[in-house]
Amino acid sequence: MPNPIIKGITTIRWGGGAGSLYGATGAIVKKVGHATRGGAPTVIDDTIGFAAIVVLICDGDTLTITCVDDAAVTWPNKGDVVAMTAPGKSSVNFLVIDNNGDLERKREGERVIKAEYYANIVLS
């Protein structure tokens, strides 16, 4: 019997092996979400109505990182600055704006960390 031919998309990215969260050694990352505040580039017109400058504002890009909550991990606190890599960027500094634990009976705990990017933030 011949082998079946599988047709369709073969380049889908699957979750798993997402790595670990910078600054939280040993953290198991389940999911990473990336949202941009600016979206489309900002166009600055010249005096006769043509686009003179196009600026893509990255300030406010937000990463939402869902991890397995583990008491052995030291999690970043609100207000901490951590180095992370956002899609399309090299490693940059993000400000942690939220760090919530989500615990429920008979289910592994989760920790959701939200961090925002702003130009010129430095690690303290």
pLDDT in tens, 57-66: 667 788 888 8
- What is d(CA 52, CA 118) in angstroms, rounded to the nearest whole number? 25
49 inside domain: yes
- What is d(CA 34, CA 89) in angstroms, rounded to the nearest whole number? 12
pLDDT interval class at 97 (50, 70, 90) = very high
Residue 105: pLDDT over 50: yes
pTM over 0.85: no
105 inside domain: yes
Which pLDDT belongs to residue 18? 45
45 inside domain: yes
13 inside domain: no
- What is d(CA 120, CA 34) in angstroms, rounded to the nearest whole number? 20
Q: Considering its fold, how many domains does the chain have in total?
A: 1
Domain that holds residue 41: 29-117
Mean local confidence (pLDDT), 77-90: 77
59 inside domain: yes
